[in-house]
Amino acid sequence: MPATQLGCHTIGSHGIKLARFHLYDWIILIFLAVVYGLSNIIEPFHRFVGRDMLTDVSYPLKGNTVPFWAVPLIAIVLPWVIFGGIYFKNKNVYDLHHGILGILYSVLITAVITDAIKNGVGRPRPDFFWRCFPDGKNFNNVTGDVICHGERSVIKEGYKSFPSGHASAAFAGLGFLAWYLAGKLKAFNREGHIAKLCLVFLPLLVASLVAVSRVDDYWHHWQDVFAGGILGLTVASFCYLQFFPYPFDADAIWPHAHFQQLAESQSNSNAAVALRDTSPMLDSMESGRRL
């Protein structure tokens, strides 16, 4: 069903009205962003690390193949570009707004949950040894626990292995995009065009490569990225289905709000037609009463 049946509801014509209707959603979104920021200040739980555990946490301290600043670009900005391109083609502000709002919720809810678990679990990263002991000298001979003398911020990050934030954010954003593309391409319309699925799986492939890079860089154990990926994809699914139909529905191409507005417009149109049709009869009856 083309967006033109809505009379091309654009940002200029319906954007402010739509934003006001979802004002509380945007306020909660800002609140989530603040919570996420505060969660990075909290000192994570320092899990016990004994001498016999060093084998699993003595990998080299490396940089990031995918930098932290690149994750929002991959998980949020890239999908926004696609949302914007579809908007400029179809002029459906409901689709643009719900795509932007949905993916922001997907990533921020995932980020808050991820950091809460990170701080609560306090699992050492695979490179924890060199974060804790940059000079290679280690351990308290009395307690058997580590006494770190590295840089405080580096040690703090060393206790945040589970789950992977890169993996969860990538799957939250790109998982949402995969759902979105499945709906737009009508990937499950039973016509058997398997090529459509290649486009649907492409964002998931990118997310998987981001996750794998965290193991290659020795910032995470494989369980960390697996759990992060599952978490991000689960939240993305809930957020997408809050705004859009299932991809295999006949109306999968547009959000629920599009069809609600279409029904409202049709109802108003029918009421106007009924009023116009009854006006001559009412005028005739009024004339009869005057006579």
| DSSP letter for each residue of 208-264 | HHHHHHHHHTTSS-HHHHHHHHHHHHHHHHHHHHHHS--TTSTTTTS-HHHHHHHHH
Check whether 269 has a pLDDT greater than 60: no
Mean pLDDT, range 148-164, rounded to an integer: 90
The pLDDT, as a whole number, for residue 150 is 82
Cα-based angle 272, 278, 281 (whole degrees, multiple of 5):
160
Mean pLDDT, range 129-134, rounded to an integer: 86
Mean pLDDT, range 185-192, rounded to an integer: 84
The pLDDT, as a whole number, for residue 254 is 84
Quick check: 85 and 95 in contact, CB under 8 A?
A: no
Catalytic residue among 220, 221, 256, 258: 220
Would you call 46 a catalytic residue per the annotation? no
Task: Record the pTM.
Answer: 0.83
The domain spans of the chain are 3-254, 261-291
Q: How many Å is the maximal CA-CA distance in the chain?
A: 112
| Cα 243 to Cα 55: distance, rounded to the nearest angstrom | 47
| Cα 10 to Cα 12: distance, rounded to the nearest angstrom | 5
Would you call 98 a catalytic residue per the annotation? no
The pLDDT, as a whole number, for residue 93 is 87
Question: What percentage of the chain reaches a pLDDT higher than 90?
Answer: 49
Catalytic residue among 14, 166, 221, 258: 166
pLDDT digits (tens, 9 = 90+) for 223-262: 999 999 999 999 999 999 999 999 888 888 888 877 777 6
